[in-house]
C-alpha cells in the first residue's frame, strides 16, 4: 500500500485497522515530529480541549461531529487515549494520523495511561494482542508515548495538563527542562503532572517533619502516584506563572466537567457512559478567540448511529447537531422536556471553521426550566 495519510484517515474514520507495518512507520514518523516539540506546547485560541477518551472510538467521532472535523477545528487532547474502551487501537491510530497530517492543528498531551505499566493491566496490551496476534503494535505505540508532550499553554493564559500540579514544579520553565523521553516514573515531577488530582480538602499532609521539602498543601495520592492538591497551591502556581486558569482531565465527572477553586481549575472528561456502564455525560471545552470558555456537554453515540460514516455530515448544510445522551433510546430521551429541550442545539447559520457556537442562538422558546435550577450547571459560559 502506498503511503497516503488521507487514505489512512478515511479508513480509520470507518474503524478499519491499519496493518502492523504501517503503524510502525506512522509511529516512527510521529516520533520524529514530536522530538522537536518542547515539553510545554504553545497553542493559540480558538481551540477545543478534549479530556480522557479511553478507546471509546464512536464517542471520539461524536466529539468531531460536535466540535468540528480536523483540520477545521484546532484540538488539544489531554491524554488517556487507550485502555478500558473496546477500540483503543483504532482511537490512538486515528489520533496519530491526524497529528501527522495536521501537526499544527492537533496537540497530543501524555496521560497516565500512556505508559507500559498501566496499559499492561488496563486493557490496551490485551487489545493489541487480540487484534494483531502479538505485542509489536503495543511496543510501537508505547515507545511513541514516551515522546508525547507533557503540557500546553494556550495564549499564555490557560495551562493544560493531564493530571495536575507537582510539589517539585513551581514554574512552567521547570517543566520545560524535564527529560520526558522515557517511561513515566512512579515518583517525581513527571509522574505528578500526569497523576495528581485537585481536592478541596487534602487529608494526609506530607508536611515538614517527615521530609526535607515543605510541601504544604500537597498530600500523597490514594492512586499510588502523584499528589492531591488544594486551592492555595493552585492560586500560587497561577500567580507565579502569570496564568489565568488550569484545565485538566484524569478524573471521571458525571456531568462531563467540573469547575473548582473559584474557577481557577476545571476538569474536562470526554468519555460518555464510561466503560459503557457509568452513565455519565461527557464534554469538550471549546475556547473562543477571546478565550471565552464553553463546556459543550454530550452523551454517548447511540447504537443506531455507530456504523454511519460521520464525515458525511457537513456543517455547511446546517445539519442537525443534536447532542446525544444515554437512555433506552435517543428518541425517548429527546421527549423528556427538562433535559432534551435544553440540550437541543441547532446551528442556525453555517459554521465558520474554528468559530465558537453561540449558545444564545439556541431555540429555547418552548423550554421550561426545571424547578431546581440545575440547568446553570450544564451550560457554563465564561469570559476571562
Partner 1 sequence: MNREYVPAEPASLAAATAEEEQDRRSKPEHEGLGSHRWYHVPCAELLNAAHQSVVVINGDVPVESACETLILNGISSAPVWDKDKNLYAGMFDYRDVVTYVLVGLSKDTPIDASASMEFKELVRLARSHEPVPAKLAADISQRNPFYSVIEQTHLLQVAALFSSTIHRVAVMNDAGLRGIISQSTVIQYLYKNIEKFPDVQSVFAKSIKELGLGTKSVIAVDGTTSVLDALKLMSKNDVSSLAVLSVTGGIIANLSMSDIKWVLRSSKFNLLWQTCLQFVGFIDSEQGIMDGRDKLPVFDVLETSTLGYAVGKMIATKAHRVWVVERAAGPPLSVVTLTDVFKQITPVLDPRED
Q: Are 73 and 66 in contact (CB under 8 A)?
A: no
User: Judged by CB, which is closer to partner 1: 5, or 206?
Assistant: 206
Exactly one of 28, 187, 320, 331 binds partner 1 (CB under 8 A); which one? Answer: 187
What the block records as the C-alpha cell of 258 is 467540573
CA 156 centroid distance within chain? 20
Segment interacting with partner 1, rule: CB under 8 A, options 151-159, 217-225, 283-291, 335-343: 217-225
Mark whether 162 is an active-site residue. Answer: no
Under rule CB under 8 A, residue 117 binds partner 1: yes
Give yes or no for residue 250 binding partner 1 (CB under 8 A): yes
Pick from 118, 128, 238, 297: which binds partner 1 (CB under 8 A)? 118
Stretch that binds partner 1, among 20-28, 87-95, 115-123, 318-326 (CB under 8 A): 115-123
Among 2, 6, 179, 209, the residue binding partner 1 under the rule CB under 8 A is: 209
Q: Which residues, 6+ apart, have CB-to-CB distance to 284 below 8 Å?
A: 48, 49, 50, 51, 63, 66, 67, 268, 270, 295, 296, 298
Does the footprint of partner 1 cover residue 279 (CB under 8 A)? Answer: no
Residue corresponding to grid cell 421550561: 368
Contact status: 197 vs partner 1 (CB under 8 A)? yes
Q: Are the C-beta atoms of residues 162 and 78 closer than 8 Å to each other?
A: yes
Q: Which stretch binds partner 1 (CB under 8 A): 111-119, 303-311, 313-321, 363-371?
A: 111-119
Give whichever of 172 and 190 is closer to partner 1, judged by the CB atom: 190
Among 65, 84, 99, 345, binds partner 1 (CB under 8 A): 84
Contact call for residue 183 and partner 1 (CB under 8 A) = yes
Distance in Å, CB of 51 to partner 1, minimum: 13
Residue with grid cell 515530529, as numbered in its chain: 33
From the list 113, 162, 245, 250, the catalytic residue is 113
Out of 229, 261, 274, 342, name the contact with partner 1 by CB under 8 A. Answer: 274
Per rule CB under 8 A, count of chain residues that contact partner 1: 38
Under rule CB under 8 A, residue 278 binds partner 1: yes
- Site membership for partner 1, residue 186 (CB under 8 A): yes
| Min dist. Cβ of residue 170 to partner 1 (A) | 21
185 interacts with partner 1 by CB under 8 A: yes
Q: β-strand 227-229 against 197-198: which pairing, if any?
A: parallel
Least Å from the CB of residue 310 to partner 1 = 27
Candidates 67, 268, 255, 80; CA nearest to 158 is 268
| In contact, 339 and 333? CB cutoff 8 Å | yes
**Which residue, among 289, 351, 354, has the nearest Cα to 321 in the 3D structure?**
351
Q: HSE on the CB side for 183, CA within 13 Å?
A: 9
Min. distance of Cβ 275 from partner 1 in angstroms?
Answer: 6
The residue among 360, 326, 359 whose CA lies nearest residue 340 is 326
Assess 283 for contact with partner 1 (CB under 8 A).
no
For position 181 contacting partner 1 by CB under 8 A, the verdict is no
Closest distance to partner 1 from the beta carbon of 285 (Å):
19
* Contact predicate 337/40, CB 8 Å: no
Those residues with Cβ within 8 angstroms of residue 67's Cβ, 6 or more apart along the chain or in another chain: 48, 50, 73, 75, 284, 286, 296
Could you count the other beta carbons within 10 Å of the beta carbon of residue 157? 15
**Residue 151 β-bridge partners:** 40, 161
In the complex, the residues that contact partner 1 under the rule CB under 8 A are 83-84, 112-113, 116-118, 120-123, 126, 183-187, 195, 197, 204, 206, 209-211, 219-225, 250-252, 274-275, 277-278
Q: Active-site residue numbers?
A: 113
Amino acid at each position: 500500500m502506498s503511503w497516503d495519510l488521507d487514505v489512512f484517515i478515511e479508513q480509520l474514520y470507518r474503524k478499519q485497522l491499519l496493518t502492523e507495518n504501517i503503524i510502525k512507520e506512522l509511529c516512527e514518523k510521529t516520533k520524529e515530529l514530536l522530538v522537536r516539540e518542547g515539553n510545554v506546547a504553545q497553542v493559540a485560541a480558538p481551540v477545543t480541549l478534549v479530556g480522557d477518551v479511553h478507546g471509546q472510538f464512536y464517542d471520539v467521532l461524536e466529539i468531531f461531529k460536535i466540535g468540528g472535523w480536523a483540520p477545521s477545528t484546532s484540538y488539544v487532547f489531554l491524554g488517556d487515549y487507550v485502555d478500558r474502551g473496546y477500540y483503543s487501537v483504532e482511537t490512538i491510530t486515528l489520533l496519530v494520523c491526524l497529528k501527522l497530517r495536521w501537526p499544527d492543528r492537533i496537540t497530543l498531551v501524555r496521560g497516565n495511561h500512556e505508559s507500559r505499566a498501566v496499559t499492561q493491566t488496563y486493557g490496551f496490551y490485551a487489545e493489541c494482542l487480540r487484534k494483531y496476534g502479538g505485542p509489536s503494535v503495543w511496543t510501537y505505540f508505547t515507545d511513541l508515548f514516551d515522546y508525547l508532550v507533557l503540557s500546553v499553554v494556550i495564549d499564555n493564559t490557560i495551562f493544560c495538563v493531564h493530571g495536575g500540579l507537582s510539589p517539585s514544579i513551581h514554574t512552567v520553565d521547570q517543566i520545560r527542562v524535564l527529560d520526558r523521553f522515557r517511561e513515566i516514573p512512579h515518583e517525581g515531577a513527571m509522574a505528578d503532572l500526569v497523576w495528581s488530582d485537585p481536592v478541596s480538602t487534602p487529608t494526609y499532609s506530607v508536611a515538614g517533619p517527615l521530609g526535607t521539602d515543605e510541601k504544604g498543601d500537597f498530600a500523597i495520592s490514594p492512586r499510588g502516584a502523584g499528589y492531591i492538591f488544594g486551592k492555595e497551591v493552585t492560586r500560587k502556581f497561577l500567580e507565579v506563572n502569570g496564568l489565568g486558569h488550569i484545565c485538566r482531565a484524569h478524573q471521571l465527572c458525571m456531568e462531563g466537567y467540573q469547575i473548582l477553586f473559584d474557577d481557577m481549575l476545571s476538569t474536562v472528561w470526554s468519555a460518555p457512559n464510561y466503560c459503557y456502564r457509568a452513565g455519565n455525560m461527557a464534554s469538550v471545552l471549546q475556547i473562543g478567540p477571546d478565550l471565552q470558555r464553553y463546556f459543550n456537554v454530550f452523551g454517548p453515540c447511540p447504537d443506531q448511529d455507530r456504523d454511519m460514516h460521520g464525515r458525511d455530515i457537513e456543517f455547511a448544510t446546517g445539519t442537525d447537531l443534536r447532542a446525544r445522551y444515554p437512555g433506552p433510546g435517543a428518541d425517548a430521551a429527546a421527549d423528556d422536556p427538562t433535559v432534551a429541550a435544553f440540550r437541543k442545539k441547532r446551528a442556525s447559520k453555517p459554521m465558520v471553521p474554528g468559530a465558537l457556537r453561540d449558545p444564545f442562538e439556541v431555540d429555547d422558546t418552548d423550554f421550561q426550566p426545571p424547578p431546581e435550577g440545575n440547568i446553570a450547571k450544564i451550560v457554563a459560559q465564561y469570559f476571562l
